Structure 1
Amino acid sequence: MSEKPDVGNVVMAALAINMCFCECAQGKDTICKKDAVQLLRKEIGNKAKPEELDKMFNTLDADGSGSLDFQEFMTLVGSVAIMCREMMKE
């Protein structure tokens, strides 16, 4: 049986996610498309083509505003977490 997660670590991870959003949003409530695409490129590497990054952004931008709000950003974070979990299973 595995150990229970340390609540302090969970809180620190949540704070780190929030800080990442704030840094990317540059003090605003949303992350502009240019910065969001740069973040995607940083996270997945330069393997993705520009049209693939655009498609990813458009999928994340649920309201079609041209930017990512915190909830849309959390969809990205959740997607990355799911991919990591799948990789750990292999």
Structure 2
Amino acid sequence: MSQVQQSMALLISAFHKYSGKEGDKTTLSKGELKDLLNAELGDVMGKNTDQAKVDKIFKDLDANADGSVDFQEYVTLVACLTMMCNEFFTKK
């Protein structure tokens, strides 16, 4: 697989590692999202121990306001973080 294909597979794998622990396998609950953020993105976003901060991130990600974060909403977060990292590293 190419590097891009490997990256896509890792994104999918990371989502499904956390989704479904509290119910629906195709979405992330607030608790599942918190676990994913801390374990997979803690170095970029910082550890999210403040529940109000997690609530805000969850609300911002839940674009369709259905009370869960689906794969598209998760990928939007990763894409935005990737763009921010790219800007940071290309400015150095």
TM range, normalised to the smaller chain? 0.7 to 0.9
Q: Taking structure 1 as the reference length, what is the TM-score of the superposition? A: 0.79
Q: Which of 1 and 2 has greater Rg? A: 1
Root-mean-square deviation (CA, aligned residues, Å) is 2.0
Q: Decide which of 9, 29, 32 is 1:32's aligned counterpart.
A: 29
Q: Structure 1 pair 25/47, CA: closer, same or farther in 2 (3 Å)?
A: closer
Aligned length: 84
Task: Indicate if the aligned counterparts of 1:41 and 1:53 stay in contact, CA closer than 8 A.
Answer: no
Deviation at residue 48 of structure 1 after TM alignment = 6.5
In structure 1, stretches of 5+ residues that fail to align are 1-6
Task: Indicate if the aligned counterparts of 1:37 and 1:54 stay in contact, CA closer than 8 A.
Answer: no
In structure 2, stretches of 5+ residues that fail to align are none
The corresponding residue for 2:64 is: 63
Q: Taking structure 2 as the reference length, what is the TM-score of the superposition? A: 0.77
After TM superposition, which residue ranges in structure 1, 4 or more long, deviate above 3 angstroms?
none
